[in-house]
Amino acid sequence: MAELASAKRFYVDVLGATVGREHEDWLDVLLWGHQITLQHRPDEVLPLEKQGKRHFGVVLPWAEWEREVARLEQQGVGLLGRSSIELAGTMDEHGKLYLSDPSANVIELKAYRNVERTLGLPA
């Protein structure tokens, strides 16, 4: 992270995370059932065009994904385009939305209509 205070505000105020442990150079946020450690490392922050496919992704249940997408699109904060539904009407239908935090880290929110089948998980 280029700057922890702005990252903390984004993850808490925009994404709805709660803060776990917090230290001078890092903090943990709890978000969508996961712990994410945000570290103050400004020399390692890359602009979006140099990141390639590097991103953090989370798979949400479909109804929760729809609520989060509507809320985030209304705020418009850090969105990298609009949400999309891919392979609509098929067994692999999925929705996705990309956004970025204040240090240009890309976050993908995704939902699958049939998560077990699409990801090859046991039912």
- Count structural domains, the chain: 1
Give residue-wise pLDDT tens across range 43-65: 888 777 887 777 889 999 999 99
- In this predicted structure, the answer to whether residue 36 has a pLDDT above a threshold of 90 is yes
Q: Write the DSSP assignment of 48-111 as a string of letters.
A: GGGTTT--EEEE--HHHHHHHHHHHHHH-TTB-S--EEESTTSTT-EEEEEEE-TT--EEEEEE
Give residue-wise pLDDT tens across range 81-97: 999 999 999 989 999 99
Please report which confidence band the pLDDT of residue 42 belongs to, taking 50, 70 and 90 as the band edges.
confident
- In this predicted structure, the answer to whether residue 9 has a pLDDT above a threshold of 90 is yes
| Residue 35 vs residue 123, higher pLDDT | 35
Residue from 41, 32, 66, 51 nearest 106 by CA = 51
Token reading at 120: 């090859």
The CATH number covering residue 41 comes to 3.10.180.10
| Residue 78 vs residue 38, higher pLDDT | 38
65's CB contacts (< 8 A; 6+ apart) are 95, 109, 110, 111
Parent domain of 42: 4-119
E strand or H helix at 120: none
Q: Are residues 11 and 101 in contact, defined by beta-carbon separation less than 8 angstroms?
A: yes
Q: Please tell me the predicted confidence (pLDDT) of residue 26.
A: 94
- In this predicted structure, the answer to whether residue 121 has a pLDDT above a threshold of 90 is no
Residue-averaged pLDDT of the chain? 90
Q: Please tell me the predicted confidence (pLDDT) of residue 32.
A: 92
